[in-house]
Amino acid sequence: MTRLSAILDERNLTYTTVAARARLQPRTVRQLATGETSIDNVEVGTVRRIAAALSIPVAALLEPDLRSPGDPSVSRGARLSAAIRGVMWSGAATPYLSPVEAGEPDEISDVPADELFAGMAPIDFRRG
């Protein structure tokens, strides 16, 4: 869940209400609240208008910094720990197209992998 979404939930405000106060399209507010559009990727003025409409500082809308891959300022373990918390558990609920497709399953979907590859030379299995 994004910070904007949490604030809207807490105050029981709709996207339309906030959009009207901020003079923005409701779609813009919805995309920012759901995380579909990152708040880092919109104009500063847009963030300021939403913050003003909610009477909160701009900083209250910004998501916490994520550690970047390879960041030398922290250890590998700290980097990975922060990434798991920030990326895997982001709670952003971003809409994402499901890989599940309609239709009948293909004829090898139920075949166990070892059966499918039976008779083939081993691939990676000797690696430690």
Partner 1 sequence: MPVAADVYRRVAEADDLSSGDIAFLSLARTRLAGEMPPGDLFDPLGRVPAYPRPAVVALPHEREVAIDAMFALVVTHSCEIDRQKNADVSAVHFDCRLTVAPIVSEAAVRLVGADGTSATAGWAAIEANDPVASLYLPPIADVSELAPDVDPVGWPRSFADLRGLTTVSRRMVAADRLCGLSPAYLAVLQKQLARFFTWRDLARHELVEALVGRRVVGATPLNSKGDRLRVALTADDGSSLTVELRAR
Q: What is the binding site for partner 1 (CB under 8 A)?
A: 35, 38, 40-41, 66, 68-70, 75-77, 79-81, 83-85, 87-101, 103-109, 111, 113-114, 116-117, 123-125, 127-128
CB of 15 to partner 1, least distance (A): 16
User: How many other CB atoms sit within 10 Å of the CB of residue 29?
Assistant: 26
CB of 107 to partner 1, least distance (A): 7
For partner 1, the closer of residues 52 and 85 by Cβ is 85
Between 59 and 97, name the residue whose CB sits nearer to partner 1.
97
Q: Which is nearer to partner 1, 43 or 124 (CB)?
A: 124
Query: For residue 35, which of 56, 9, 63, 60 has the smallest C-alpha distance?
Result: 63
Residue 46 class from Cβ within 10 Å (0-12 exposed, 13-18 middle, 19+ buried)? Answer: middle
For 68, the token pair is 């970047």
Q: How far is the CB of 87 from partner 1 (least distance, A)?
A: 6
Number of C-beta neighbours around residue 12 at 10 A: 7
Residue 23: Cβ within 10 Å count: 8
Least distance to partner 1 from the beta carbon of 29, Å? 17
